[in-house]
Amino acid sequence: VVHLSNLDRTDTWLKYRAGLCEGCIATCCTMPAEVKLADLVRMEVVDAFEAEAEPAKQIARRLDKAGVIEHFNFKTSTFTLARRANGDCVFLDAKSRRCTIYDKRPNTCRNHPQVGPRPGYCAYRMK
């Protein structure tokens, strides 16, 4: 049975279990990833000094120009990571379908699928 979750319909998502990611095309890495400044420091796209010294708005402007983020929410100080035209996160390797910054990935990604549109479920799509 081939399982094709619909990213926009969480009722089609599979209950998460260990090992599920191994056979998936990284569908979760096509969802908008909202991150905080501390995540960007861990990801090494913002250094700690810059994070303390520069206004978030200025950092957002630089990261937008660099193609790292696609949006900055001033009210919540939340950055949305950039995605390619096909929807993939810019940090997802197109061939391997693996995160290129896995050890430094943001909390949004670390906590998925425990936290997200449907906690405990993921938009699994078989490779």
Q: Which sign does the torsion angle of CA 14, 18, 19, 21 carry?
A: positive
pLDDT of residue 5: 83
Assign residue 125 a region (left: φ > 0; alpha: ψ between -120 and 50; beta: otherwise): beta
Reported as a single tens digit per residue, the pLDDT across 7-46 is 889 999 999 999 999 999 999 999 999 999 999 999 999 9
- Reply yes or no on whether the pLDDT at 6 is more than 90: no
Q: How many CB atoms lie within 10 A of CB 13?
A: 21
Identify the three-state secondary structure at position 126: strand
Q: What is the pLDDT of residues 86-120, one digit of tens each?
A: 999 999 999 999 999 999 999 999 999 998 889 99
pTM greater than the 0.75 cutoff: yes
Q: Which two tokens stand for residue 76?
A: 């919540």
